[in-house]
Structure 1
């Protein structure tokens, strides 16, 4: 299992070829990159000497970490060698220093060594035992270092309430269908443990201190540039596949019209398409011994 820095929350763990999703993962992570920069700007204290990005995917956030901390050893950690190869190519293209390490989460974390900053975006919710996963991540943090976990935020908005195709309120119904699918995914994970998802409290329970959360806006106004527009298309293509059976026929037909490349109502051509969301990062520090 792997996961990058993208913001969708409807992915299962056994219906999904992460390497085959590389283009989607990279495009979506690029679209959401501003939140990573904003979150890193909130860090205080001395610059980290070693940084781990656990569940790095194709390396968008890892390269931002390497750019932000050019003197640090930054290691992209993922279970998919194909995605790490893409991260290496990205680092070369951007001229940043990046190492990669193939390791599954959480079973292969033991050999990674400690880091002053551990970044883990959208990986914990794929574990049945989320508290156990946080404890494993906390074990990677050097004394005085920081763990930053991205989980939650706000759903993506990209169309007016009445988009002129289908019934108004399509996005709210997509949210409800995605939430239902997410709950099914969580229930089917091995070793699922119910937990109140108070992330700062969970970080404290993992032995960390100074736990707090901050949310960061991702705002791409209309008319959308090519990259964010492609991200919306890929997101809707994913919804059309995984939410079939959870949406009524009218909403599925509306999705088909939005995905029609020749339709002026479609996401490829409409001038009012935007992308607005928020990502929440939960920070905590390991006490000094």
Structure 2
């Protein structure tokens, strides 16, 4: 697993196809953009699944195993990301409180608690079942007392009297794109930073790859067609969100508009080669099953038949048995720093 860091250019990047976990997480999970939960959608961070169905109908307690397995498959990338974030804070910038906005089962929350041993790490999510999962994980890892949980809906519960408070580091992964006004969401998250604090947003990246170009079933190139179907499903999801506001998804520029400085981006590669173990195969099987359900309307009959073969637990050509499935994706993180009040006034 490699990480590449660079200063984010000022110009627009255009739209990237790495929506959601995959998402990672997804899987790290995402808090509830009210009234629905933001897990389970996309290629990136933790890869939470590629479809974008009706989130209100999802039972997050049932999906918790899938989310946590996906996040654990991405642990090497998540550890590298946590280490990179730690390096942004020098000895003169102590980190006492970390917010994980859209924490899911808390895999990244616990990694951040380990990376910042003097900080309280707060998991913020809209699913009580996933928050319970987070606290149980923290207890197993010896982090009880430093990892806490806060039930919240996004974006309503991030500010005002019911807000989650301020922090030195605010982390969010594959959550902002599930909120109608993405710029307003970043503005709110930036407002939760203490002076000198860092907002880290995992959005974009690259779609998950998991199949050879020619899998011996159906037309070659299925992976690319699944990506195209996901893009159409994702756009439908974006347009259906309350208060959906089109924006050029130049995350660096958006962080600057939120009042942040020293904006940078870095990317962590997720590389789990074939053959996958049983946990990896089970994760991919559920990913494809959900994709079959949520994006079937964007695929032709031949591709749907191929998906049916891939998710057939008894088929030698299915992902549970074939030897050539793998996981390969890239998670991009964009960071910005809240200026100290004096610097903010001088810049205004």
Q: Shorter-chain TM-score: which interval?
A: over 0.9
Query: Are positions 1:11 and 2:55 aligned together?
Result: no
Aligned partner of 1:266 in structure 2 is 318
Which deviates more, 54-63 or 228-237?
Answer: 228-237
Query: Are positions 1:147 and 2:188 aligned together?
Result: no
Aligned partner of 1:86 in structure 2 is 133
Q: CA deviation at 1:9?
A: 5.4
Q: CA deviation at 1:190?
A: 1.1
Query: Are positions 1:278 and 2:320 aligned together?
Result: no
Q: CA deviation at 1:106?
A: 1.0
Alignment of 1:36-55 (within 5 A): 36-43=78-85, 44-46=88-90, 47-55=94-102
Alignment of 1:1-289 (within 5 A): 1=32, 2-3=37-38, 5-7=45-47, 8=49, 10-12=51-53, 13-43=55-85, 44-46=88-90, 47-96=94-143, 97-110=146-159, 111-289=163-341
Which deviates more, 101-110 or 14-23?
Answer: 14-23
Distance 1:134 1:59, change over 3 A: same
Q: CA deviation at 1:105?
A: 1.2
Distance in 2 of aligned mates of 1:276 and 1:174: 15
Distance 1:3 1:31, change over 3 A: farther
Q: CA deviation at 1:67?
A: 1.7
Distance in 2 of aligned mates of 1:262 and 1:200: 46
The secondary structure found in structure 1 opposite 2:297 is coil
Partners of 1:145 and 1:286 within 8 A in 2: yes
The secondary structure found in structure 1 opposite 2:150 is strand
Distance 1:9 1:143, change over 3 A: farther
TM-score, normalization: structure 1?
A: 0.95
Partners of 1:31 and 1:231 within 8 A in 2: no
The secondary structure found in structure 2 opposite 1:243 is helix
Partners of 2:99 and 2:169 within 8 A in 1: yes
Superposed CA RMSD in Å reads: 1.5
Which deviates more, 24-33 or 210-219?
Answer: 24-33
Q: CA deviation at 1:6?
A: 2.9
Q: CA deviation at 1:56?
A: 0.4
How many residues end up aligned between the 2 structures? 289
Cα offsets for 1:230-264 (capped at 9, x unmatched): 22111101111101211111111111111111111
TM-score, normalization: structure 2?
A: 0.80
Unaligned ranges ≥5, structure 1: none
Partners of 2:265 and 2:332 within 8 A in 1: yes
Distance in 2 of aligned mates of 1:155 and 1:56: 21
